[in-house]
Amino acid sequence: MSFDDKLDNKTEEVGGKVKEGVGKATDDERLEAEGKTDQRSANLKQAGEKIKDVFRS
């Protein structure tokens, strides 16, 4: 996995955590759910990149 991909995925994950936190603080369930979805998406992308790395070896 390239450094750029790792950085993009980590940025998306952190952004999701921020959204989730803001959603909890403001009692905005939609924003909280969107943050959780962003985190899951980033984690799936990271897993996919790790699988690609295994097959490249």
Q: What are 24-41's pLDDT values in tens digits?
A: 999 999 999 999 999 999
**pLDDT cut 90: percent of the chain above it:** 70
Question: What dihedral angle (degrees, nearest 10) is formed by the CA atoms of 36, 34, 4, 10?
Answer: -30
10, two tokens: 């980590």
Q: What ranges do the domains of the chain cover?
A: 3-56
Say how far apart CA 17 and CA 42 lie, in whole Å. Answer: 11
| pLDDT at res. 3 | 81
